[in-house]
Structure 1
Amino acid sequence: MNNVTTKITVKITQRRIDFPEEMQKEIRKTSYHCDICKKSFSQKSNLTTHKRIHTGEKPYHCDICGQSFSRGSVLDIHKRVHTGVKPYHCDDCDISFSQKSHLTIHRRVHTGEKPYHCNNCGKSFSQRSHFTIHKRIHTGEKPYHCDVCGKSFSDGKMYSNDKTSILGSGNTLYLTYH
């Protein structure tokens, strides 16, 4: 690559991307590949962390509650549950959050940003989880199934409402997620 330093970021998607042959050779030389799913990483440490998805290994343990995590950074965020530390502050309303991503989502209340747009009906959503549930209206997907009444639901909250009306409070109901 003629004395030029090139940083290549590749996100694996459903699309096939054809790189020039010279670049393909360079990528193969500097990549670490998962032998299970064939995903590639530029750093060996990222491959090591990724493999924990397949093995279920969670080497980072919370010394307060014993919960385990596959990444140390996730353990650090988790510990804020116990300490109450909320380092991310909203400048508009002075609410604080333990995770930066929660502040990012909250800020949309003030900005009106709705980055998740439904191509079927034109509705937009500020949170990905709300968009995911909404899309099920169009697909008909109902992944939450009540084993007691036989009904299926597109939203886990609707399932929760149903189980309360069927059993009343204090009873156990088993949910099957498909």
Structure 2
Amino acid sequence: MSNLRGHERTHTGEKPFQCNFCDEKFAWRKSHRSHTRLHTGEKPFQCQICDKVLKYSSSLRYHYKAHTGEKHVVCKYCGERFANNRNSRGHMKIHEGKESYQCYFCDRVCADSSQLEDHCETTKGDTPSSAPCATILSASVEI
């Protein structure tokens, strides 16, 4: 399929790629494949440094930044640096007084449960569902 044909679908609304697990439809085959991984749990992208496996190529690109230490996104409130916009947005929620999650084992505060889960897996091998990590804090978290 040409890129032009795929682009045309964004205008026509045509979505020929149907998920085999749910009712979701997609204009792009690549989007369909990525979505299917949500259902199958397939993780075809492997880090060549630590062997961690991930569902998406974009996740692997972000993951490599953890190894290189690259942090090009800067918080406008405190100057803290982040490897990607996702982590920055979560950090901003804390500054803006939105709901946050605190690790049971340390003082780390995360803006959403998925960041807390990543933190717990990295530091203790536990996840919020298996450890009392998911303590929801009030909006008055200070940094």
Fold conserved between structures, TM > 0.5: yes
Q: Structure 2: which 5+ residue stretches go unaligned? A: 99-143
CA positional deviation for 1:116: 1.0
- Give how far 1:155 is off: 2.4
Post-superposition CA distance 1:123-146 (Å, at most 9, x none) = 111101111111111111112112
Paired residues, number: 96
- Relative distance call for 1:168 and 1:109 in structure 2 (3 A) is closer
- Equivalent in the alignment of 2:88: 159
Match of 2:9 in 1: 77
Look up the equivalent residue of 2:89 and give its one-letter code: S
- Give the greater-gyration-radius structure (CA): 1
Paired position in structure 1 for 2:119: none
Aligned residue in 2 for 1:146: 75
Runs of 4+ in 1 over 3 A off after TM superposition: 71-75, 109-112
1:30-41 aligned at under 5 Å gives the runs none
The SS at the match of 2:43 is coil
In the alignment, which residue of structure 2 is the partner of 1:115?
44
Measured in 2, the distance between the counterparts of 1:149 and 1:164 equals: 13
Match of 2:30 in 1: 101
Matched, 1:126 2:55: yes
CA RMSD of aligned residues (A): 2.4
Counterpart AA for 1:151: E
Structure 1, unpaired ranges of 5+: 1-70, 170-178
Output one character per residue of 1:69-106: Cα deviation in whole Å (capped at 9) or x when no partner: xx7445413315xx4x3221022334222221111112
Q: Which position in structure 2 is the counterpart of 1:7?
A: none
Flag the structure with more relative contact order, 1 or 2, with Cα contacts below 8 A and sequence separation at least 6: 2
For the 8 Å contact 2:6–2:28, the answer to whether it is kept is no
CA-to-aligned-CA distance 1:132-170 (integer Å, 9 cap, x gap):
11111111111211233111111211111222322458x
User: Corresponding residue for 1:38?
Assistant: none
